Amino acid sequence: DAGVIQSPRHEVTEMGQEVTLRCKPISGHNSLFWYRQTMMRGLELLIYFNNNVPIDDSGMPEDRFSAKMPNASFSTLKIQPSEPRDSAVYFCASTLGGGYGYTFGSGTRLTVV
Amino acid sequence: AQSVAQPEDQVNVAEGNPLTVKCTYSVSGNPYLFWYVQYPNRGLQFLLKYITGDNLVKGSYGFEAEFNKSQTSFHLKKPSALVSDSALYFCAVSPGGTTSGTYKYIFGTGTRLKVLA
């Protein structure tokens, strides 16, 4: 099993540009989570899906952020327009359920200049 | 409010000495408890979990954790630290503790472990 796959690994973009981060969860996992990690704020949950349906997006910082999960094997996190304060490492994680633990991807390091 | 606390931002320990990274929680019900480790430029990796049963659980890389219900703690331990154990450690709690459905884990703020040669 290849694990949770995120792309790209690194993204450098200019302020105002649209950024799309991608995630492929582990096959069979029914829940998917998007996290953001920064030195200042630590690990923050942005949104999570269960069976492709968004359940809780209360962590999405602003309307500039949106996430979709069109099918069980793919999710995107989009930032439009991007701002320098969005610079962070974005992680995707998936799980079978509460007691099984999360499997995290390697993350996307986003730098907005 | 439900919460997880890791009271130490950083723990320093000499190589070969035992280490403890502390975690306490405040959630209702019988939660599932987890430890994750994050090495530089990597995602979080699962170390171990407590679901039920023996209060001492063993995990990867020689780590173990002790569940204490009365103190609502789940401290991570290792008898003999290695320099390669230096990393960021996160405690996480799944409130409610069922094996199905979706649960939003509550993560602690992380503890940086530094093992000195």
Residue A81: exposure state from Cβ atoms within 10 A (0-12, 13-18, ≥19): middle
Point out the least confidently predicted range of A93-97, B8-12, B99-103: B99-103
3-state DSSP of A46-67: EEEEECCEEEECCCCCCCCEEE
What pLDDT is stored for residue B100 in this prediction?
45
What does the alpha-carbon distance between residue A29 and residue A105 come to, in Å, rounded to a whole number? 13
Point out the least confidently predicted range of A83-92, B68-77, B87-96, B106-115: B87-96
Mean pLDDT of chain B: 91
Whether B101 has a pLDDT exceeding 80, the answer reads no
**Percent over 90 (pLDDT), chain A:** 86
Both tokens assigned to A47: 């949104």
At residue A106, the 3 state secondary structure works out as coil
- Confidence band for B43, pLDDT divided at 50, 70 and 90: very high
**pLDDT average, residue stretch B100-107:** 71
Is the CB of B102 inside 8 Å of chain A's CB atoms?
yes
**Percent over 70 (pLDDT), chain B:** 93
CA distances from B70 to A99, B55, B114 (A): 21, 12, 29
Judge contact between A89 and B84, C-beta under 8 A: no
Both tokens assigned to A96: 């079978």
- pLDDT tens string A4-47: 999 999 999 999 999 999 999 999 998 999 999 998 888 999 99
Does B104 contact A56 at a Cβ distance shorter than 8 Å? Answer: yes
Q: Which residues of B touch A107 (CB under 8 A)?
A: 42-43
- Confidence band for A98, pLDDT divided at 50, 70 and 90: low
Return the ∠ at Cα A53 (arms to A51 and A56), rounded to 5°. 115
CATH superfamily for domain B3-116: Immunoglobulins (2.60.40.10)
Most B CBs within 10 A among A53, A100, A108, hence the mutation to make, goes to: A100
Main-chain dihedrals φ then ψ at residue A67, nearest 5 degrees: -140, 145
What pLDDT is stored for residue B97 in this prediction?
56
- HSE, CB side, 13 Å, CA atoms: give it for residue B29: 11
